[in-house]
Structure 1
Amino acid sequence: MKALLLKTSVWLVLLFSVMGLWHVSNAAEQHTPMKAHAVTTIDKAITDKQQVTPTKEAAHHYGEEAATNVSASAQGTADDTNNKVTSNAPSTAASTTVNETRDVDTQQASTQKPTRTATFKLSNAETASLSPRMFATNAPQTTTHKILHTNDIHGRLAEEKGRVIGMAKLKTVKEQEKPDLMLDAGDAFQGLPLSNQSKGEEMAKAMNAVGYDAMAVGNHEFDFGYDQLKKLEGMLDFPMLSTNVYKDGKRAFKPSTIVTKNGIRYGIIGVTTPETKTKTRPEGIKGVEFRDPLQSVTAEMMRIYKDVDTFVVISHLGIDPSTQETWRGDYLVKQLSQNPQLKKRITVIDGHSHTVLQNGQIYNNDALAQTGTALANIGKITFNYRNGAVSNIKPSLINVKDVENVTPNKALAEQINQADQTFRAQTAEVIIPNNTIDFKGERDDVRTRETNLGNAIADAMEAYGVKNFSKKTDFAVTNGGGIRASIAKGKVTRYDLISVLPFGNTIAQIDVKGSDVWTAFEHSLGAPTTQKDGKTVLTANGGLLHISDSIRVYYDMNKPSGKRINAIQILNKEIGKFENIDLKRVYHVTMNDFTASGGDGYSMFGGPREEGISLDQVLASYLKTANLAKYDTTEPQRMLLGKPAVSEQPAKGQQGSKGSESGKDTQPIDKDKVMNPAKQPASGKVVLLPAHRGTVSSGREGSDRALEGNAVSSKSGKQLASMSAPKDSAHEKQLPKTGTNQSSNPATMFVLVAGIGLIATVRRRKAS
């Protein structure tokens, strides 16, 4: 029995020794208890003084300070006594422990260098973004770039607080932003009197001072004539571009230019609206042809494709719904973005429609941008560039409030001030010493509805025509697009009137058949309509005719375009009564020379005409003696909704509704229903509304998703995808536990089972 117990004890000692050694070895292999999100081990032969150096990409991922700490931790401090490196780095988002092991083979100790193992403990986000190329030194770098742009400045040389940034501040902003490019999308020279007086030359000087890289040719660039435009082109220090304008069969301007800035080759292409043929003075575009914008731009892109990294189109096309779709900027960028041959990113910087696009519009990663008008905003486009490719194009605006505290460039401000003082001295004549009427002439008013200023201008033109033309004027009209400013209360000078009528147009009179008068007013009120708050509204139209007091126009905006006129009545000055228009009679109609030549699409006008003095002189002469009290209203009553009242119905044989016999289409109506749009009842109310009144458009076409926090959601609020890792993801799990506290150690279990078995064996032998 004693011998058996002795043998058993020896076997147990041996068993415990073997299992103990196995346990220690296993524990050493699994190292220490560790809860981590990721472990990255880098084994490499290095010298005692060698260190891990973070790359720029590491700094980008973790920040400058964290990357520096990674480097310090990886280097550690060598302990010559125990051949171990201990890390003294502070605890950060990315901490490091470094252990050094040496080969114990004494035969190789003299030839092998120590090997160090660096272990990085990283957070979830850091682990997800960590990659081997983090430590590369030759990976392509992503850089950020910007472009500044303007459009439709319209002669705004000087600053106007709260309204106009001015060219001197623009120069300062450019110096601060340091963009790759400074571009303009057209209609810069013509507009306010200061620029007009010099036929655009003062603006050309200012643009040179700002330092533009290129500009597009706008329709109003032709207002001073083709020869003057070519003179302005010669004055500029940068190219004036248009790929679709031809003169006598030859290209009139350079189609494109390639500018290399900060390592990027920009292909800049200009394009001009074909509407120019009806939106400038006809004598300025004799022999000039405007070809298809999309075809012209696409052809130029393909011609220079291999020489550029990205395209910037400076387009004077606009996005006004009244413009033919294929001539619009949004149509252009949409079609270009869908062209499979054009793989390089495209940015279209637009103008012409005076639209404010706060954050632009995105089409398949290509962008459309526009600032509005009158230098109230500066466009800013940022994007990323990496390895020859442009991405992440983001348009935005710098508005007039953003630059309130910006100091204007001193030299340019002085240059503009001197020019302005000279001009004001020339136009200081007082026309009205104390004006008591607010004359409405803002764009949003004169292009959408009848205004008291439009009426006053038309009355002035009729008064001139009655006295000065060979045939007494029957009535006068003036286009809303030709009115560019209001007249405020107080002293009114000639300078103020030139600001209202800045184009230098002259007064003219032509003979127009009654049927053509009808067609002209259908065109005047033919702009697209839309629904707003349950009302039918008309979008802005520069061709909207303002009328003199000798004509009344009755209309219905709920009818389709081209069929909206119910009746037109013209004053019979011999008997002092209004009569319905005679479609066969020829009327003597006074208008400006622009409209008389077919401008704004009035192709029914034209032919021989008498001409007189400039419109600002006509208006000045009239206002000096006119009874201004008649204009003290915000709701003029010359363009009326509905049909004439019973007492105003046409006599037998006169025209009621076009194409009908007298009286058949006219119904007696309550006098209160013959009204200006502003007085219409709520039901069926018709309001003439500007296309872009007080609106800011932005968006990304085809996208209905928005980022909220760390989740991607649809606009309906339904979560589409989570940006954070699920709780049971691999990054949240602990690594296997090691050490003496382990509850399921196999050695412990084995010894326990063996002991129980031994005790059972001894008891059986005793029993036997």
Structure 2
Amino acid sequence: MVDAGDAFQGLPVSNLSKGEEMAKAMNEVGYDAMTIGNHEFDFGYNQLKKLEGILNFPLLSANVYKDGKLAFLPSVIVNKNGINYGIIGVTTPETKTKTSPEGIVGVTFADPLETVTREMTKLNNQVDAFVILSHLGIDPSTQQKWRGDYLTQQLSTMTAYKHPIIMIDGHSHTVLEQGQMFGTDILAQTGTALANVGKVTFEEKDGKLSNAKASLINVKDVADVTPNATLKAQLDKANEAYLNATSEVIIPNNTVDLKGERDDVRTRETNLGDAIADAIEAYGQHGFSTPSDFAVTNSGGIRASITQGTVKLSDVITVLPFGNTIAQIKVSGENVLKAFEHSLSAPTQMVDGKKQFTANGGLLQISKGVRVYYDINKAPGQRVNEIQILNKQTGQYEPLDLTRIYNVATNDFTASGGDGFDMFGGSREEGVSLDKVMADYLKTADLMQYDTTEPQRMIMGQPAKGEDTVTVPPAAKPQGQQLTPQPATTGKVVQFPVPHQPAATGNNSATMVGHAGTMAGSHVTTMSTTAVMSTVAMQGTSAATNGQVADGNEKGTLPATGGTSAGAIALGYVCVGAGLYMMRRRRAA
């Protein structure tokens, strides 16, 4: 039973305890090993080391270093039913931009291929199979050398390693129903939020393993399994405490579906993204020393939709589970341009005959104070046609001034350079929590303004002639505070496009289960000659950031299982734990 990362963060019920309730649950289920995902660092390095001390199984990563030294155990040998599994962990170097920068001070990430082969060479004569717990993913937007499919392909060609390689992958939240084969080696991934348990079966004869195959068990298939009593009691207690603390009704009867699902919010502007950015901008009119010009928020921080009906604080926290705070930074017009080029730099794909971006957690959702016109057919770094900023005194949109300093409100993750926004950073003012800002906004906002699925702010093409003088109602002056006059637009305004550089951007049976790329070491007694390895998907972040269709590697997506609500995922964990418990009881019998 193993896990491919992003276990501790992203579920509100777990976030309340900074991952400790999830660590207890995983102990009860009976994991054998886990690798480290990018969101394991969301509560900081010290808290992650504390969680490592709570776990009764090893936390693995061969390529994470702290102050130049290996920070975690790189690999472990687990023997189950006479088979030695060499389990190696590897963490995405994207962690540098996909967790809070404060959480990885002094932490570096070495090359995945180099570090994994180092460990395989060390274990080569001691194991029957290699199990790589890979929190790398197969997103097209990820550098090829940092992807799980690239790592599997490279390892499969190396003749020095005679044993089968099973790559249990995470990070990209991809559903691979039958995995992906590389020669005789296999890559498996299960999606997200405990929607599926992955299973890899193989044959073993005379110490030789062969014929690996991957499949998935959907959470609905185990709905009737009797829960493990101890695990259920622990989860029920944690869930009750969370629900009691977040039971406030924010909207008694919401009539607008606000779209926040991964494949929506990471590929385009959505009405929920608009609302969150507007909430940040509204706070910024009085929450900082100077009013915000506009607001942005990263799509990877939006983890669920808000549906019609009663909306509680727990629903808002499920959408925004990371505990981010509001921040304001001062950004030059030149860096605003660079930021939006970076935001729109993802690779493209055809969906239903229409070109769109591939999923990108760094795609910025934007407030009503800014409009971005772009061309998806242009090369990354050259896609922005024009940016317009709302002058709140005149009520008119004006072209971006590359020499002006703008007050940009966002969340603390993006403000500090997360998702590769290195044109941000620097000193910043801090506000309250993002979920509180959003909850307060939803209580009073006219949500009918978001009753559309058409883009309103990130618009393909050029602005219509004279559109930069469109008038909108001026913002009301906050009580008790003088608005700082905006600098007048000068001859330094540059129309787009302008030349610039792109932003950097005897047969035995055995079972291994995993999560989000996990592998389980429970034994199953059957009449077959098959050994089983399972992968349980629970990347809630994790619940991030973080299925993605990846260049034809997707073998099909199973039906949705109710989103990422804490209750549903808790039920999923109970079912998985119960299933493993029953397997072990049968074996003992």
TM range, smaller chain: 0.7 to 0.9
Counterpart of 2:174 in structure 1: which amino acid?
Answer: T
Matched residue, 2:217? 398
Query: Distance between the aligned counterparts of 1:489 and 1:370, measured in 2?
Result: 32
SS state at 1:428 partner: coil
Give 1:296-311 correspondences, 5 Å limit. 296-311=115-130
Asked if the contact 1:597/1:606 (under 8 Å) is kept, the reply is: yes
1:140-155 equivalences under 5 Å are none
1-structure distance, mates of 2:382, 2:270: 23
- Choose from 379, 382, 395 the match for 1:576: 395
Distance in 1, Cα, partners of 2:200 & 2:412:
40
The whole-number CA distance in structure 2 between the counterparts of 1:295 and 1:251 is 14
Equivalent residues of 2:176, 2:190 under 8 A apart: yes
* Cα deviation digits, residues 213-238 of structure 1 (max 9, x gap): 00000000000111110011111110
CA RMSD, 1 decimal: 1.8
Residues 388 and 468 in structure 2, CA contact (< 8 A), matched pair in contact too: no
Amino acid at match of 1:525: L
Structure 1 residue aligned with 2:227, among 402, 408, 412?
Answer: 408
2:447 aligned residue (604, 628, 632): 628
| Structure with larger Rg | 1
Query: Offset at 1:345?
Result: 1.0
Q: Tell me which residue corresponds to 1:349.
A: 168
Q: 2 CA distance for matches of 1:207 and 1:389?
A: 31
Q: Is 1:290 aligned with 2:129?
A: no
Superposed displacement of residue 655, structure 1: 2.1
| Match status 1:619 vs 2:476 | no
Residue 533 of structure 1: how far off its partner (Å): 4.5
Structure 1 residues 534, 500: closer, same or farther in 2, change over 3 A? closer
TM-score of the pair, normalised by structure 2: 0.81
Which residue among 87, 90, 112 is the counterpart of 1:268?
Answer: 87
Measure the CA separation in 2 of the matches of 1:463 and 1:481: 21
Q: Which of these residues, 659, 662, 680, is aligned with residue 498 of structure 2?
A: 659
- Identity over aligned residues, as a percent? 66
What residue is the counterpart of 2:365 in the other structure? 546
Q: Deviations over 1:577-602 (max 9, x none)?
A: 00000111110000000001110111
In structure 2, the CA distance between the partners of 1:434 and 1:534, relative to structure 1 (3 Å rule), is closer
Cα deviation code 1:376-417 (max 9, x no counterpart) = 000111111122221111111111232233222232122211
Q: Which digits, 9 at most, give the CA deviation of each residue in 1:157-188, with x for residues without a partner?
A: xxxxxxxxxxxxxxxxxxxxxxxxx1110001
State yes or no: 1:697 paired with 2:573. no
Match of 1:461 in 2: 280
Within 5 Å, which residues of 2 pair with 1:17-28? none
- Report the CA distance between 1:692 and its aligned residue: 2.4
Deviations 1:63-115 (A, max 9, x none): xxxxxxxxxxxxxxxxxxxxxxxxxxxxxxxxxxxxxxxxxxxxxxxxxxxxx
Q: Give the Cα separation in 1 of the matches to 2:427 and 2:351.
A: 43
Contact 2:77/2:85, CA 8 A, preserved across alignment: yes
Q: Offset of 1:260 from its aligned partner?
A: 1.0
Instruction: Pick the aligned partner of 1:427 from 246, 249, 263.
Output: 246
In the alignment, the residues of structure 2 paired with residue 261 and residue 216 of structure 1 have an alpha-carbon distance, to the nearest angstrom, of 19
Structure 1: tracts of 5 or more residues without a match: 1-181, 662-689, 700-768
Inter-partner Cα distance in structure 2 for 1:302 and 1:346: 13
> Aligned partner of 2:324: which letter?
N
Does structure 2 conserve the Cα–Cα contact (< 8 Å) formed by 1:356 and 1:695? Answer: no
Q: Which amino acid aligns with 1:247?
A: K
In the alignment, what sits opposite 1:679? none
Instruction: For 1:643 and 1:649, locate their aligned partners in 2 and report how far apart those are by CA, in whole Å.
Output: 11
- 1:536 maps to 355
Aligned to 1:230: 49
CA distance in 2, matches of 1:386, 1:186: 31
Cα shift readout 1:119-178 (whole Å, capped 9, x = no counterpart): xxxxxxxxxxxxxxxxxxxxxxxxxxxxxxxxxxxxxxxxxxxxxxxxxxxxxxxxxxxx
Alpha-carbon spacing, 1:266–1:660, altered in 2? closer, same or farther (3 Å):
closer
Q: Which moved more, 1:188-197 or 1:648-657?
A: 648-657
Structure 1 residue 653, shift from structure 2 partner: 5.3
- Post-superposition offset of 1:555: 0.6
Q: Deviations over 1:643-677 (max 9, x none)?
A: 1111125896532214279xxxxxxxxxxxxxxxx
SS of the residue 2:466 aligns to = helix
Give yes or no for the alignment of 1:558 onto 2:377. Answer: yes
CA gap 1:206/1:455 in 2 versus in 1, 3 angstroms:
same
More divergent stretch after superposition (469-478 vs 482-491): 482-491
Corresponding residue of 1:496 = 315
Counterpart CA distance in 1 for 2:364 and 2:41 is: 23
Distance 1:207 1:199, change over 3 A: same
Rounded Cα–Cα distance in structure 1 between residues aligned with 2:499 and 2:432: 41
Question: For each residue in 1:318-373, what CA deviation from the matched residue of structure 2 results, as whole angstroms up to 9, or x when unmatched?
Answer: 01110000000001011011012111111110000000111111112011100011
1:741-764 CA deviation, whole Å, 9 max, x = no partner? xxxxxxxxxxxxxxxxxxxxxxxx
Compared with structure 1, are the counterparts of its residues 369 and 660 closer, same or farther at alpha carbon in structure 2 (3 Å cutoff)?
closer
Structure-2 residue corresponding to 1:445: 264
Alpha-carbon distance in 2 for matches of 1:649, 1:622: 28
Aligned to 2:509: none
8 A contact 1:356–1:696 mirrored in 2: no
> Could you tell me how far apart the structure 1 residues matched to 2:114 and 2:552 are?
31
The residue aligned with 2:293 is: 474
Opposite residue 218 of structure 2, the aligned amino acid is N
| 2:186 aligns with one of 361, 367, 370 | 367
Q: Which residue of 1 aligns with 2:479?
A: none
Partner of 1:107: none
Q: Return the structure number with greater relative CO, CA threshold 8 A, min gap 6.
A: 2
The structural deviation recorded for 1:568 is 0.4
Separation of aligned partners in 1, 2:4 and 2:123: 20
Q: Do the aligned partners of 2:175 and 2:548 also contact (CA within 8 Å) in 1?
A: no
Q: Does 1:209 align with 2:31?
A: no
Q: Following the alignment from structure 1 to structure 2, what is the Cα–Cα distance between the partners of residues 314 and 209? A: 21
* 2:81 is the counterpart of 1:242: no
- Counterpart Cα distance in 2 of 1:487 and 1:254: 40
Closer/same/farther in 2, CA of residues 649 and 436 from structure 1, 3 Å limit: closer
Quote the residue 1:512 is aligned against.
Answer: 331
Provide TM-score, normalisation by structure 1.
Answer: 0.62
Letter in 2 for 1:569: Q
Q: Which runs of 5+ in 2 are unaligned?
A: 470-488, 501-546, 557-589
> Hey, what's the Cα distance between the residues in 2 that align with 1:653 and 1:615?
35
Q: Report the AA paired with residue 178 of structure 2.
A: N
Within 1, Cα distance between the matches of 2:90 and 2:218?
26
Secondary structure in structure 2 of the residue aligned to 1:624: helix
Q: Which moved more, 1:433-442 or 1:363-372?
A: 433-442
What's the offset of the Cα at 1:491? Answer: 1.9
Counterparts of 1:428 and 1:196 in 2: how far apart (Å)? 16
Is contact 1:474-1:588 (8 Å) kept?
Answer: yes
Q: Is the 8 A contact 2:180 2:553 kept in 1?
A: no
Give the deviation of 1:696 after TM superposition: 7.6
Displacement after TM superposition at 1:537 (Å): 2.1
Is the alpha carbon distance of 1:502 and 1:694 closer, same or farther for their aligned partners in structure 2, counting shifts above 3 Å? Answer: farther
One-letter amino acid of the structure 2 residue matched with residue 656 of structure 1: Q
SS at structure 1 position matched to 2:408: strand
Give the counterpart letter for 2:15 in structure 1: N
Aligned 1:148-227 pairs, distance under 5 A: 182-227=1-46
1:535 Cα deviation after fit: 2.7
Partner SS, residue 357 of structure 1: coil
Alignment partners' CA distance in 1, 2:329 and 2:131: 45
Given that residues 9 and 19 in structure 2 are in contact (C-alpha distance below 8 angstroms), is that contact kept between their aligned partners in structure 1? Answer: yes
* Residue identity in the other structure for 1:185: A
Which SS does the other structure have where 2:311 is aligned?
A: strand
Partner of 1:735: none
CA contact (8 A) 1:359 1:697 kept: no
